[in-house]
Amino acid sequence: MTASTANANTANDQRFREFKMPDVGEGLTEAEILKWYVAVGDTVSDGQVVCEVETAKAAVELPIPFDGAVHDLRFDEGVTVDVGTAIIVVDTRPGAGPAEPAAVVPDQQTYYPPKEQPAEEEPSPEEGEGRKAVLVGYGAAPSSTKRRARKPQTGAGAPELNGHGAAPAAPAPAPAPAVPATAPPGGRALAKPPVRKLAKDLGIDLASVTATGPDGTVTREDVHAAATPVAPAEPETAPEAAPRPAETAAREIRTPIKGVRKATAQAMVASAFTAPHVTEFVTVDVTRTMKLVQELKSDPDMAGLRVNPLLLVAKAFLVAIRRHPEVNAAWDEANQEIVRKEYVNLGIAAATPRGLIVPNIKDAGAKTLPELSAALGDLVSTAREGKTSPAEMAGGTVTITNVGVFGVDTGTPILNPGESAILAFGTVKLQPWVHKGKVKPRQVTTLALSFDHRLVDGELGSKVLADTAAVLEHPKRLITWG
């Protein structure tokens, strides 16, 4: 490489800046691009939101960290992209004229998808092991996500894959057959960090996976294929499955499960088959609590705050937890320990257009009733707007799900993963009830408490549920017990 070419490379590297998909949650490995707010040629500035993405936890807006003009949008809306993959290229000096042709040399800090190479070329050991990951998704292997079709490149001025310039077209590589994911000399099987994590989660040894990616790289599809058991061969005499009638298929609507809905489904399956659930029920007269709700609505100290039955159910639950702190715990599988929490992060299950999410109120047990009301109002409003951040959904210890708003009496709720208990609050309605020796119409509801039997035995769970019901039956206990 001549000195002039090196200078051109440096200039173009500084001019064209790539913005990579960040890890906007806690160890998330991918996100779907929901909407682009900019197009090629648009001017952008540092801190300007350029797109909205959906992770497995929430929808998040991404701001660009530099000024310039949009040179390229790498992916279309609706595409799921690995964390650490460049999604947008910005020309930081749009008035500097056409870019000079330059080759980009990947370094240890930046990942560029490699150009196609002849099949006989082998990756060097440095590419397999020497790269240091600074963000989940960075590595030597190309992204497993699908790119939209690129425009045909012709002539000496055609841009290269990273927008820095053009290079003569390389001869088409020979088709590479699938090969076992054997490690390069002195290294491991070639795979990106998200793929390695997927293999680890599924208990798959990467060395045993047949790689179909470029240069023997293991892809997500390879790992899933290795994890899928081979179905036994059907007997030759087995009748063929009847095809679905065309009129039946025309009346079926198929919705891809991804983002929040996919994460929720996976979490519920993991919770249901990991934590041994026990659910107990109690039906309680909440007439006095409903009367207190009406009084609080006119209280000057609660002016402008959201006051409803859920607020007092949450306060009653927190009082019960304070009386029985052992219920507020977590199971540490790695160390075989029960971890008791001296803080209560109270989750509130919220139905949103993207699916069920469970943001939580941090240190809810330490809040006064007005503070709890304000936090609950903010949580619900943010969830309805689809602006709940991953941090607001992390670290929960117990949860309340208000199934009563749908007219449901009760249910058997499934634990939010990592939490010890979840309380279902059913609908409140007038029912005949024996009160002071006489049958009278009273406001009645049913509570259901599911808990992790590894952490909470029957006695402890029963006491927590009974105390919650007792506070709601006689809300003056908020003072005497609280």
Active site residues: 453
| CA 36/CA 64 separation, integer angstroms | 12
**Cβ burial, residue 338 (10 Å; 0-12/13-18/19+):** middle
40 sits in which H/E element: none
List of long-range contacts for 303-306, beta carbons under 8 Å, 24+ apart:
305/370, 305/373, 305/374, 305/377, 306/373, 306/374, 306/376, 306/377, 306/380
The two tokens of residue 275 are 């934590």
According to DSSP, the residues that pair with 431 across neighbouring strands are 442
Distances (CA, A) of 470 to 160, 259, 327, 347: 70, 40, 17, 22
What's the rounded Cα separation, in Å, for the pair 340 and 390? 23
The bridge status of strand 49-54 relative to strand 59-63 is: antiparallel
Rounded CA gap, 81 and 77, in Å? 10
Length of the chain: 482
Taking the C-alpha atoms of residue 144 and residue 128, their distance in angstroms, rounded to an integer, is 17
Distance CA(275)–CA(333), nearest Å, equals: 11
Token pair 């943001």 in the structure block, residue: 359
For residue 57, give Cα distances in angstroms to 18, 250, 258, 439.
25, 32, 10, 48
Instruction: Please work out, in degrees rounded to the nearest 5, the angle formed at the alpha carbon of residue 440 by the alpha carbons of 434 and 443.
Output: 90
H or E element that contains 5: helix 3-15
Whether 196 contacts 206, CB under 8 Å: yes
